[in-house]
Structure 1
Amino acid sequence: MRALVLALLPSLALAASPAPARRATSLLIPMDPAAESGSVKMEGYMNEALGNFAGFTVRKSEEIFGLPADPNAQSAMERARKGYSESAAAFDKKEYDDAETKVRATLKELQNAPAAMRGCSPLCESLALYAALLHLRGDVEEAKLVLIDLIAVSPTFELNPKRFSRDFIALRVQVATGRTSQLRGSATVKSRPAGARVYVDGELAGYTPVTIPALTVGKHLLRVERPGFRQYGQLMEVTPDDVEVSTELVPTAAYKAYDAQLDRVASEVSRGISQANGVAGLGKSLGLERAMVGTVRSHGEGTELILGYYDLRSGRKMGGRRVVLQGDEFGQLKSEMERMVNQLVNTSEGGGDKVVRSSDPLDNRGGTEDWGAEDRGGRTRKQEKTKKPGDDPLDGVSGTEDW
């Protein structure tokens, strides 16, 4: 008997081990230039929703396609770091002529480095050092112009009192409270393809094409990135007049290979083919097992989304939706994408009813049925929070459950 039990133990342990998580993602194919701008954002929202399911390992688009750096920007950054270090050393030794020569060369290198910068260092330190050198030799107005750029890039950058004189630190305060530093301008950033993330001074400002209002006049760090394309950056000069920046992003070889498959995949998704061999081939090339694959097309005042949920190993379509989305003016796009993903996964993987509703939550229903107990990762909000005796009876209740 003992031998029988021992013989069964390996198989019991194998049966008890959890199944490996399936690699999944969301892939949206823009069908026209106007649809490009929102596709990356929508993919991100859908991947967030997929991440709520325990059975998935979600691979984001940047993990699949990468965010390749600009090698020229990286080289310029390395030279700039070295140049600033040498400039600061010369400044501390009071070798001001040598320090100025070196910091000028450093700032020239930094003109080509923004694509490799994630913060204002060493740009802020170099601007501060250059302004201090101009101040020391009596070029106060020139020093003020450099300080305007420093304040624009980083309003909170602090000057080291051990390195800089009290008069120079007072000059920075004067510039920061002066009329010029209160001026604002706007910048419009465009890219081809659209839908790239835009970072200004390290902060996400939106997706191309985007207009960033009320920027402080002076220099700003601009970085543009889209999965599968080389990162782009520049030192953007903002003036009281409108500024526009346009860039053509450079795709990687891997993204070109992916893009070559999209015409066939888009055709299969649009026609609702239940056995999509093109989708299966795409999944194999990307090393995925599950995916939300869809086409996005501008549609009058909205955006038409045809979405399929696929088993990528076989190309079998497990579920689908076709909706017209009405933009994201009130921040509703994220919740709408989440509801679609939850419904498709829950119904396709063996749970929930197979009712398909339009993008209008009031279409043919009360409009409040799902808002208080919406499935997230196969769990309802009611399941996520259990009540204890004595709890507030209204805790976790939206007030719409009985309508």
Structure 2
Amino acid sequence: MRPSKVRAAHAALSGWLVGLLAVGPAAAQTPVSTRLVPRALSAATAEAPADAPAVTVVAIALDAAARADAVRLVREAEQAVANSGRLKLVRLADALDVEGQRERQARESEAAEAAKAGQRAYDELDTEKALVHFDKALRAYEGADLSQRFTELSRARVMKAASQVANGENTAAQLEIRTALALNPEARFSPNFFPPEEMTFVEKERKAVLSGNKSTLRVSTEPVPAQVYVDGQFRGISPVEVADLTAADHYVTVVAPGYALNQRRERAGEASLTLAPVAALPGLQTLTDQVARKPDGSERDKALRELGSLADVPQVLALLVRGGAGAGPLEVTGLRLDVLDGHNQAYAIGTVPRGDALADGSQALLTQLVSTDTPRQAGKPVTHFSGGVSSSRRTAGYVLMATGVALLAGGVYFGMEASSKSDEFKRTAQNSRRAQDLKSTGKTYAVVADVGVLLGLASAGVGSYFAFAGGGGGGSSKSSARASRPAPAPAPTPPATETKAREPLPMPPPPEQTAPAARQPAPAAPQPAPAAPQPAPASSKKDKEAAKRAQEEEARQREEELRKRREEVERQRKESEERRKQEEAAAKREQEERRREEERRRQEEKKRPSLDEDDLRNY
């Protein structure tokens, strides 16, 4: 029995080893998507559900001291939205640049299709066709938004090098590998696509890149600060100095709301990029100015709703930033607003440190704004504005009310004194000196009483208006509803017929009684002529005509203003389009020059003998 068990164990072990040998080649043929995983350059973000509401972020500086920090705070808020797992981020710069975003998305789709076709051709061992597709994908990704698609560009470059290796173009492949590692030292090269000598070359180049000399690139933008990305990584707000860069041409991308995305390759030194305004910039500036003028009133939420409509998103996350004097912390009011009805999904007030501590110091406030939604009250939106009455105005109203009450009390007191003096005057001899004194004093008290009562009533009335006019404070759904709706148009003057209809109608005459004998029909009485409509009073006609003229004048002014605004937007759009065309022409010329240079290098390399050509042919 024992020898048979040993033979069975030996047979099982032999079968296991044979299975491993058979599985090895099959595993090498698995699709590249499971084997090639370049690093993700952006921070990991939680995947939001497909039906998650889209949110755009805007930061508005309420004073000059907060402008730079407000731009930095936008980036942190965008990261908080992207990491929330329940909201979908739409960058305001992309939402306002519709044409540019459409072009970049078209290039992304083109690149993705080319990369997919290249991978399919590579798996089918048609490596020459794969090289063409991966090169096309690489060029298309260079025209996309590399602040979000640099990972895909790096993957396309790696697969282009793999296709060149498979075609025997080792020198060109090594040039592509050097470029890939210079831009992304952590790029992964799978041994399933690269032979051992090429993997040795990859590791040698990686070490040289990591230990080589580093350079610095200083990026500035005009006319506004912008988010700066270098090779897909966020590096700060311009002007910014980017250190620890390799000696290569790096992809620099700058993004700012209201301006077209600008992107080009730069080496160490100075890089100044100009941002071209888009057609939506005037509207953005108008709405942000409205918010900055009245950051606590209903105009704030109304302007933010219009901004959401301009960006075509259902929610807006707004950060109102006040810097103040000195190096103290920023005062930040944040709200996430539903564009449809103005409901504040989230609201928070807090302080955020400046400088390097801003990123960590703002997380608590931003998490509060994106983590949960505030329910509506009885189906009505919740708001957090003061209804148009500022705290200083309300305080002044209360002071005036108190002053009015004091003056009324003083008026009543002096009125009683004047009445007392009058009674005493009547009981005193009229020709005496005391009577004259009582008369003079009584008149004085009477004047003081009248003035006190009048001033008290006026002061109390003005104070009541300052303190209570404009509705209640924050959280009032009724006040928010009134503020979010446009003011109703003035009611037209009722016509004369309506005025007449409201007058009491005359009673009909009693029926005429006839004797029983008089049964013969009486001759038909002539029908009374219908009463002519009474002409409307002259004052009503004048009011109606005046209202009509006022409406026509208002409509004309509105049309003129809209016409001027459309002309301004059209002019800016044409200027932006012209600048974009010039930049595209310059970029095409630059790409053509690089292509010619690369073609020249290829021709020179082909003339030289290939490295280890006999060994590679045998391999």
CA distance in 1, matches of 2:157, 2:223: 34
1:126–1:292 distance in 2 versus 1, CA, 3 Å: closer
1:293–1:109 distance in 2 versus 1, CA, 3 Å: closer
Alignment of 1:253-402 (within 5 A): 253=280, 256-268=282-294, 276=297, 278-279=299-300, 281-285=302-306, 286=308, 294=320, 327-331=354-358, 334=362
- Give the aligned CA root-mean-square deviation in angstroms: 5.4
Q: Which amino acid aligns with 1:248?
A: L
1:91–1:226 distance in 2 versus 1, CA, 3 Å: same
1:73 maps to 104
Alpha-carbon contact 1:219-1:237 (below 8 Å) kept: yes
How far is 1:100 from its partner?
3.8
CA distance in 2, matches of 1:128, 1:308: 45
How far is 1:44 from its partner?
6.6
Q: Which amino acid aligns with 1:148?
A: R
1:64–1:225 distance in 2 versus 1, CA, 3 Å: closer
CA distance in 2, matches of 1:226, 1:138: 42
Q: Is 1:126 matched up with 2:157?
A: yes
Alignment of 1:179-198 (within 5 A): 182-192=212-222, 194-198=224-228
Alpha-carbon displacement from aligned partner over 1:251-308 (angstroms, at most 9, x marks no partner): 463x642321344543445xxxx7x464354245359999987465796888987979
Match of 1:86 among 117, 122, 143: 117
How far is 1:213 from its partner?
0.9
CA distance in 2, matches of 1:156, 1:227: 32
CA distance in 2, matches of 1:122, 1:290: 31
Q: Is 1:209 matched up with 2:235?
A: no
Structure 2 residues without counterparts, runs of 5 or longer: 1-54, 81-85, 343-348, 370-383, 386-619
1:149–1:77 distance in 2 versus 1, CA, 3 Å: same
Equivalenced residue count is: 302
Q: Is 1:166 matched up with 2:187?
A: no
1:146 maps to 176
How far is 1:214 from its partner?
0.4
Alpha-carbon contact 2:219-2:238 (below 8 Å) kept: yes
Q: Which amino acid aligns with 2:69?
A: G
CA distance in 2, matches of 1:58, 1:122: 27
Alpha-carbon contact 1:47-1:58 (below 8 Å) kept: no
CA distance in 1, matches of 2:240, 2:160: 33
Alpha-carbon contact 2:142-2:153 (below 8 Å) kept: no
Q: Which is strand-richer, 1 or 2?
A: 1
1:150–1:183 distance in 2 versus 1, CA, 3 Å: same
CA distance in 1, matches of 2:133, 2:56: 48
CA distance in 2, matches of 1:334, 1:221: 29
Q: Which amino acid aligns with 1:258?
A: L
Alpha-carbon displacement from aligned partner over 1:71-90 (angstroms, at most 9, x marks no partner): 22222222222223333444
Q: Which amino acid aligns with 2:275?
A: E
1:28–1:168 distance in 2 versus 1, CA, 3 Å: closer
CA distance in 2, matches of 1:25, 1:84: 31
Q: Is 1:175 matched up with 2:205?
A: yes
Alpha-carbon displacement from aligned partner over 1:195-233 (angstroms, at most 9, x marks no partner): 533334443322233222102333545444445655554
How far is 1:246 from its partner?
1.6
CA distance in 2, matches of 1:222, 1:37: 20
CA distance in 2, matches of 1:131, 1:169: 11
How far is 1:27 from its partner?
6.0
Alpha-carbon contact 2:56-2:317 (below 8 Å) kept: yes
1:169–1:226 distance in 2 versus 1, CA, 3 Å: same
CA distance in 2, matches of 1:78, 1:177: 34
Alpha-carbon contact 1:127-1:147 (below 8 Å) kept: yes
CA distance in 2, matches of 1:197, 1:136: 41
1:30–1:85 distance in 2 versus 1, CA, 3 Å: same
Alpha-carbon displacement from aligned partner over 1:154-185 (angstroms, at most 9, x marks no partner): 33332232333222222211211236872322
Match of 2:275 among 244, 248, 251: 248
1:169–1:105 distance in 2 versus 1, CA, 3 Å: same
**What TM-score comes out, normalization by structure 2 length?**
0.37
Q: Which amino acid aligns with 1:177?
A: K
Larger radius of gyration: 2
Alpha-carbon contact 1:148-1:218 (below 8 Å) kept: no
Alpha-carbon displacement from aligned partner over 1:85-129 (angstroms, at most 9, x marks no partner): 333444455545444444433332222123474341244233442
1:388 maps to none
Greater RCO structure (CA 8 Å; 6+ sep): 1
Alpha-carbon contact 2:141-2:149 (below 8 Å) kept: no
CA distance in 1, matches of 2:88, 2:115: 39
Q: Which is helix-richer, 1 or 2?
A: 2
Partner SS for 2:149? coil
Alpha-carbon contact 1:61-1:227 (below 8 Å) kept: no
Identity %: 17
